[in-house]
Amino acid sequence: MSRLDSVIRRLSAQRDCLGWAVEHAPDGAVLDLGLGNGRTYHHLREIAPARDVYVIDRHMAAHPSSVPPDDFFLEGEAEPMVEALAARIGRSVALAHYDLGNGVPENDVPLAKAIAALLPKVLCNGALIVANAELEGFEQLPTPEGVAPGRYFIQRYKG
Ligand SMILES: C[S@@+](CC[C@H](N)C(=O)[O-])C[C@H]1O[C@@H](n2cnc3c(N)ncnc32)[C@H](O)[C@@H]1O
């Protein structure tokens, strides 16, 4: 498969999983881990207009159309920023999207493990986590039809 085909499939899996999760998550806020260019943040604002959407990234590099308000953007390393969000809103997040990493397993695997251990500090009971990796400690749910197994992940927190 070409890299272009692979990117197209990953992004459409991401969109399909986020769409399903917005429909099935309990009431509460959204947390987008990894602002990047702001594509998923922009999409989440569009598909979940009534929910607060918090975003974490170590730096602001979003397209001008996708810059979160200051109160909803936590700029810094993900681990202390999840702790800071927990101190601010407690366990109010009903849907988390995990899109951190740089594609290098030596970096991404320990990061995913560390964030998976911290997320319960902000997740409400029954919260859904849509992720680019299988995070430890959560119930794995099936992905929507058309999403190939292992391409994107949906998980549930039973806290
Ligand atoms: C794949 S991009 C996110 C793409 C974004 N969801 C979008 O749709 O445009 C990953 C982002 O994670 C951020 N990142 C990676 N590791 C991080 C860490 N340990 N703490 C904070 N941000 C991190 C990078 O700065 C980058 O912007």
Q: By C-alpha distance, which of 35, 101, 94, 28 is closest to 68? A: 35
**Residue identifier of the C-alpha nearest atom 26 of ligand 1:** 36
pTM: 0.97
With a 6 A CB cut-off, is 100 part of the ligand 1 pocket? yes
Q: What is the pLDDT of residue 159?
A: 82
pLDDT single digits (tens) 39-76 = 999 999 999 999 999 999 999 999 999 999 999 999 99
Q: Is the pLDDT of residue 128 over 90?
A: yes
**Would you state the structure tokens that stand for residue 113, as one six-digit string?**
């493990």
**Residue identifier of the C-alpha nearest atom 4 of ligand 1:** 36
Q: Which of 11, 35, 66 to mutate to test the pocket of ligand 1 (most atoms within 8 A of CB)?
A: 35
pLDDT single digits (tens) 5-43 = 989 999 999 999 999 999 999 999 999 999 999 999 999
Tell me the CA–centroid distance for residue 37 and ligand 1, in Å. Answer: 9
Tell me the CA–centroid distance for residue 2 and ligand 1, in Å. Answer: 24
Architecture of domain 3-156: 3-Layer(aba) Sandwich (3.40)
With a 6 A CB cut-off, is 19 part of the ligand 1 pocket? no
pLDDT single digits (tens) 76-120 = 999 999 999 999 999 999 999 999 998 899 999 999 999 999 999
Q: By C-alpha distance, which of 105, 121, 130, 113 is closest to 48? A: 130
Going from N- to C-terminal start, the domains of the chain cover: 3-156
User: What are the φ and ψ backbone dihedral angles of 43, each rounded to 5 degrees?
Assistant: -65, -45
Q: What is the pLDDT of residue 103?
A: 87
Q: What is the pLDDT of residue 2?
A: 94
With a 6 A CB cut-off, is 107 part of the ligand 1 pocket? no
**Would you state the structure tokens that stand for residue 39, as one six-digit string?**
């594509």
